[in-house]
Structure 1
Amino acid sequence: MNTLPRFPTLATLSGAAALFALLAVAPVRAADLPDFSSLVTASGPAVVNISSEQKPATAQAARPKLPFELPEGMELPDGMPLEEFMRRFFGEQGEMPQLPSESLGSGFIISADGYVLTNHHVVRNADEIIVRLGDRNELPATLVGSDERSDIALLKVTPKNGALPTVKIGDPARLKVGEWVLAIGSPFGFDHSVTAGIVSAKGRALPQDTYVPFIQTDVAINPGNSGGPLFNMAGEVVGINSQIYSRTGGFMGLSFAVPIDVAMDVVEQLKKSGKVTRGWLGVLIQDVTRELAESFGMAQPRGALVARVMPDGPAAKAGLEAGDVILRFNGEDIVYSSDLPPRVGRTAVGRTVEVDILRAGKPRTVKLAVEALPAQADSKVETPQPARASADRLGLRVVDMTAQQRKDGKFGDGGVRVEGVEDGPAQDAGVQRGDVILSVNSQAVKDAAGFTRVVEGLPAGKVARLLVQRGENPLWLALRVPK
């Protein structure tokens, strides 16, 4: 039986074409992936390992602690034969001997004459700092200055054999989200480890670090990478790897670097005066939520909402008030509240700037002179008092405050304390027992009875805003008044 020759079907031809296309494209895609080897060769020698040691405080020798009680009034004589035995096995007064504490980190050389940049926390309270170069030479370092707020420290070493290798400084403003970046450091003490990733976000604000607009990346950063450089593809340092977000203590895909322009500003101040000064407005701020934006008549949430104006500060002198929304500072838009502190901090002390605000739904511009950031004040905790009035409409029980409480909390002659929170709009908005309510819809609250009158007059179905103080922190909360 004769059979007809078999020809490839259309489906077979299509599959073959797709396979050939894949094979043809694959090498091109592989060629497009970055090669960091030349960058590491050129910049790696300027990256250093930093070890610091903090010596324990010296203490007077103590008698060994016995594993039993002596009769009252009886003491062991000096130099007894068993004293050394007891000391060796039971310790001094039952305590383990103190050992020097050590810290390991990374850094990089920014000048041929020996200036080295690292993190503040790498050399915090160090009695001895050693910088180890790529060729394994070790140089003792002196601390020129350190700034805890930006986590930047400047060291100085003396070169042994001429000029030291240095890094190139880049411009973080030109860095793009999604761009490749590379880190070199000493994670867990493994010198000159190289990891790479992309820029995940810029201008990221972190708790307790409001004056640094961090660069967020997915570059693998672990303990020991702190203080090391973050490079762009041009081999320029754009940031200093500072911290990670982790629930385990190890890398979880979120790492943060201090922009190099922020660090270099700190360097210049440390070289000049040994300390860092920052601009200060004298306001406490928070984000504008969707509900708060509605209460202010704003089309969308944006800006920094002023929760408190510090007495005698620049903002107070310029006439800013709690409830103002800062929309622009010195010509720059403020989209999130976290945008404001870094811009104020980088403003020269004494400079007069324009601040665009929204007050009672109307825009206005004020001028103020930026002052130096002062030391932080200690927080205070107060005890709630028995209830004297209630505002059942919001689910709140509030009380008057004593004159001493007003003085201690610096509340002036206003404010009522929340004694209890029941089911209702206030609980949904996050009001807590112990909060001090200072105003309702920007109307100052003097006492519990006045608070009740204001609450009863709120229009049903509308969003109201409460200015509360929780500990030392003022906070705007938005709630919808029940119908």
Structure 2
Amino acid sequence: MSKSSNTRSVTSKLRAGTAAGLAVLMLAGAVTVTPALAAPVSVTAPQMPSFADLVSAVSPAVVSIRVKSDVQQTSEDGSNFSFNGRDFDQLPDPLKRFFKEWGMPGQGGPGGQGPKGGPRAERHGKLRPIAQGSGFFISEDGYVVTNNHVVSDGQAYTVVMNDGTEYDAKLVGKDARTDLAVLKVDQPTKKFTYVEWAQDDKVRVGDWVVAVGNPFGLGGTVTSGIVSAFGRDIGSGPYDDYIQIDAPVNRGNSGGPDFNLNGKVVGINTAIFSPSGGSVGIAFAIPAATAKDVVAELIKHGDVRRGWLGVQIQPVTKDIAESLGLADAKGALVAEPQSGSPGEKAGIKQGDVITAVNGDPVKDPRDLAKRIASFPPNTKVDIALWRDGKATSVKVDLGTLPAEKEQANTDDDDQGGTEQSAPAKEQALANLGVSVQRSDDGKGLTITNVDPDSDAADKGLKAGQKITSVNNQQVSSAADVKRVLDQAKKDGRTKALFQVETDNGSRFIALPINQG
């Protein structure tokens, strides 16, 4: 057999698959066989979304804000510091820890980059940087939204664009209760890139958010995460209703926007929870719906004009609901209507439970505060009440919520010239775990002793406090209390509602009455 026929035979067999995976080459009449290379690993898997297009579109609308002032900076112990109109000592513990760890406005607080700690600056008659934060344009003619705590102590403001261009800005208005502020850049020939508000009802827990801002003064920085929760109350004010997100947010991000994937503003960063002083994935943002309404008011009026009911309120616990004969622990219990307030004029009384406003159920005191504040002053509203075991209602012409510095002090020590009587002999209400005596002014019973193992002690009753009513009936002796409790037992109730005056005002607590 010839060489060529041998070659054809081998080639034919290889083509037929007898030597799969080999390549045949004919060189100088010889047959050469080489192994084929293996294919590289390739995996088809769902791809994470890229935020590049989104960031490219919105970045020109996000700015850094520099704040200057000639006022003294905040002392390290917080003695000159306030947040949402509350002094440092009045803040809840999480916010105290936050400001202690991150510094306060004027010393590197949440609104800005600056030296944390160190000696305090003195006045020298010229403007000096005190804070640095973030913001964003909401109109092409230069309106910028940021946080109140970023700008609150400022006297001069500079807006820095993402390309480094700087513009002077003026303060249009600010609202400490929601921690929002509006600046205005006046450049008539310039049309600024701006962003729009997202619709809150379209935002869901688990949705992507992208935070753009100025952390630590670094300029335009992007982080991402998801919406973690809604309706967070961090104790910063009466209208707390924050969105919680897990995007990394740090000092200097305050006032910066959180975007959805359509480039709409979901929220505005305002605070974080941080045991360590750095981002731990728990940040709080003002919802777009709240910000939209407040910003519109600031642009129109320079401040926010809210409806005012004028009552001190507290939550309705299960015990309180049971003591009042309410089916559900919902609504807001009126601890005291303020003298001369719209609520008092309409007939709202101590011990009333506000259950609805214009037919919309009230969940709790925070819900009531938000509902009333959403109405313009002079609006007539229908307030549903639970009083003396039955439903009733009153119509109220809302007033104007006073500015924070004008809030009336409701701690009135004037007893109206009531003739004082000698203290009554101390008597023990054994079933309640308290000892009382008639108050010097003849109104109510002063607590002289509380059993530390009693429900009364657990609910916070202390010697020196005064019981003024039980189940909304005035009491001035232990016999009065016993009479009211006996009637409550006959009505099938196991708890009674005690109104107690303390150094911080009046409040209600429910105590069990089924012992003994």
Could you say which TM-score interval applies, normalised by the shorter chain?
A: 0.7 to 0.9
Matches within 5 A, 1:2-13: none
Q: Secondary structure of 2:284's partner?
A: strand
Which of 368, 373, 397 is the aligned partner of 2:435?
A: 397
Query: Is the aligned partner of 1:480 residue 2:509?
Result: no
State whether structure 2 residue 69 is matched by structure 1 residue 54. Answer: yes
Distance, in Å, in 1 between the alignment partners of 2:510 and 2:333 is 12
Aligned match for 1:42, one of 57, 64, 69: 57
- 2:263 aligned residue: 235
Q: Tell me the CA shift for residue 137 of structure 1.
A: 0.6
Could you tell me which amino acid in structure 1 is paired with residue 475 of structure 2?
Answer: V
Q: Distance in 2 between matches of 1:123 and 1:388?
A: 58
| CA 1:458–1:34: 2 relative to 1, 3 Å | same
Q: Could you tell me which amino acid in structure 2 is paired with residue 219 of structure 1? A: A
| Equivalent residue, structure 2, for 1:377 | 408
- Check whether the contact 2:338–2:410 (CA below 8 A) recurs between aligned residues: no
Instruction: Tell me, in whole angstroms, the C-alpha distance in 2 between the residues paired with 1:53 and 1:169.
Output: 29
Q: CA deviation at 1:176?
A: 2.1
Match of 1:426 in 2: 456
Aligned to 1:435: 465
Distance 2:150 2:431 in 1: 54
CA apart distance, 1:386:
8.4
Query: For 2:412 and 2:392, how far apart are their aligned partners in 1?
Result: 36
Secondary structure of the corresponding residue to residue 239 of structure 2? strand
CA shift in 2, pair 1:289/1:126, >3 Å: same
The alpha-carbon deviation at position 338 of structure 1 amounts to 1.7
Shift of 1:303: 1.7
State the percentage of identical aligned residues. 39
- CA distance change for structure 1 residues 96 and 210 in 2, over 3 Å: closer, same or farther? closer
- CA deviation vs aligned residue, 1:230-272 (integer Å, no higher than 9, x gap): 2222211122111123333333333221222322322232233
The residue that corresponds to 1:467 in the other structure is: 499
Deviation at 1:449, TM superposition (A): 6.3
Query: Is contact 1:203-1:339 (8 Å) kept?
Result: no
Partner residue of 1:62? none
- Residue-by-residue CA offset, 1:261-299 (whole Å, 9 max, x unaligned): 322322232233322211111112222212122222233
Given candidates 154, 162, 172, the residue that maps to 2:200 is 172
What amino acid maps onto 2:472 in structure 1? S
Q: Residues 33-432 of structure 1: matches in 2 within 5 Å?
A: 33-56=48-71, 98=122, 100=128, 102-159=130-187, 162-374=190-402, 375-378=406-409, 388-390=425-427, 391-403=429-441, 414-422=443-451, 423-432=453-462
CA 1:361–1:97: 2 relative to 1, 3 Å: closer
3-state SS, counterpart of residue 206 of structure 1: coil
Cα distance, 1:48 vs structure 2? 0.6
Structure with the greater alpha carbon radius of gyration = 2
Shifted more, 110-119 versus 171-180: the winner is 171-180
- Give unpaired runs (5+ residues) of structure 1: 1-22, 59-94, 404-412
Write the distance in 2 (CA, Å) between the matches of 1:402 and 1:377: 27
Q: In the comparison of the two structures, how many residue pairs are matched?
A: 411
Shift of 1:44: 1.5
Paired with 1:429 and 1:321, the residues of 2 have a C-alpha distance of: 23
Letter aligned with residue 392 of structure 1: A
Relative distance call for 1:379 and 1:193 in structure 2 (3 A) is farther
CA distance in 2, matches of 1:269, 1:369: 21
When residues 321 and 146 of structure 1 are mapped into structure 2, their CA distance, relative to the original with a 3 A threshold, is same
Find the aligned partners of 1:212 and 1:421 in 2 and give their Cα distance: 35
Deviations 1:320-348 (A, max 9, x none): 22222222212322223321111111111
Q: Which moved more, 1:286-295 or 1:355-364?
A: 355-364
Label 1:200 to 1:471 Cα distance change in 2 as closer, same or farther (>3 A). Answer: farther
How far has the Cα of 1:149 moved from its partner?
1.1
Task: Provide the residue aligned with 1:86 in structure 2.
Answer: none
Helix, strand or coil at the partner of 1:263: helix
What's the CA shift for 1:372? 0.8
Structure 2 CA distance for aligned equivalents of residues 379 and 360 of structure 1: 25
Quick one: distance in 2 between partners of 1:260 and 1:477? 37
Distance in 2 (alpha carbons) for counterparts of 1:373 and 1:395: 41
**TM-score with structure 2 length normalisation?**
0.72
Question: Structure 2: which amino acid aligns with 1:376?
Answer: Q
Query: What code does the residue aligned with 2:122 have?
Result: Q
**Distance change (3 Å), C-alpha of 1:248 and 1:416:** farther
Question: Deviation digits for residues 403-445 of structure 1, max 9, x if unmatched?
Answer: 5xxxxxxxxx733333332232211222233433222122222
What amino acid does structure 2 have at the position aligned with 1:471?
A: D
Q: Distance in 2 between matches of 1:40 and 1:330?
A: 43
How far residue 447 of structure 1 moved from its aligned partner, in angstroms, is 5.3
1:184: Cα distance to partner? 1.0
Q: CA RMSD in A?
A: 3.0
Contact 1:309 1:315 (C-alpha < 8 Å) held by counterparts: yes
- Whether the 8 Å CA contact 1:282–1:310 is kept in 2: the answer is yes
Aligned partners of 2:471 and 2:484 also within 8 Å: no
Change in Cα spacing, 1:418 to 1:187, as seen in structure 2 (3 Å) is farther
Bigger mean CA deviation after superposition, 203-212 or 102-111: 203-212
Q: Residues 151 and 447 from structure 1, CA distance in 2 versus in 1: closer, same or farther, beyond 3 angstroms?
A: farther
Counterpart residue identity of residue 372, structure 2: V
What is the distance in 2 between the residues matched to 1:400 and 1:208?
Answer: 39
Q: C-alpha displacement at 1:465, in angstroms?
A: 1.8
- Distance across 2 between alignment mates of 1:438 and 1:175: 47
Q: Structure 1 CA distance, aligned partners of 2:314 and 2:511?
A: 16
- Whether the 8 Å CA contact 1:379–1:472 is kept in 2: the answer is no
* Residue identity matched to 1:167: V
Q: Which amino acid aligns with 1:245?
A: F
Shift of the 368–186 alpha-carbon distance from structure 1 to 2, 3 Å rule, reads same
Where do 5+ consecutive residues of structure 2 fail to align? 1-40, 74-118, 414-421
Offset of 1:135 from its aligned partner? 0.7
The residue type paired with residue 53 of structure 1 is K
